């Protein structure tokens, strides 16, 4: 079912995304987004989804650390670093939400870019 046809704003926003399919799927996963008519409301939904995903990632990494008998020390250190980065990202996403509600869009961009940097750093740690 293509629910973006019910909300042209989602279709318009996701058309500009580098990953249109992911954008559509993410926003469609929150039924509240289908009734939104302004960019700020969609941005708040997107940031909330990202914060939820970051928190779930921290839980998954902690579970991996707790349930794996012997990890290579470098891998274990990398996983702890990832927890730190994702914990920071969650705080930055909270700051982004505060900035969004205050219409401080330059601050939103700063926090989101920092969050993306944390995610990229985590990815590079895991590939190293």
Q: What is the mean pLDDT of each run of 10 residues along the chain (128 residues)?
A: 65 93 91 90 94 94 90 88 91 95 94 88 76
CA dihedral 1, 22, 95, 82 (to 10 degrees): 130
Sign of CA dihedral 83, 126, 52, 102: positive
- The ranges assigned to domains in the chain are 1-37, 47-127
**What's the pTM value of the predicted model, to 2 decimals?**
0.83
CA distance 93 to 12: 23
């Amino acid at each position: 079912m293509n629910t973006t046809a019910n909300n042209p704003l989602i279709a318009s926003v996701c058309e500009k995304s580098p990953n249109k399919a992911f954008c559509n799927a993410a926003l469609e996963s929150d039924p509240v987004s289908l009734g939104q008519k302004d960019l700020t409301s969609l941005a708040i939904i997107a940031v909330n989804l990202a914060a939820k995903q970051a928190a779930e990632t921290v839980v998954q990494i902690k579970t991996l650390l707790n349930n794996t008998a012997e990890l290579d020390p470098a891998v274990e250190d990398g996983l702890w670093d990832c927890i730190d980065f994702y914990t920071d990202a969650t705080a930055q996403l909270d700051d982004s939400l505060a900035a969004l509600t205050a219409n401080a869009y330059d601050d939103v961009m700063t926090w989101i870019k920092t969050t993306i940097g944390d995610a990229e750093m985590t990815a590079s740690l895991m590939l190293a």
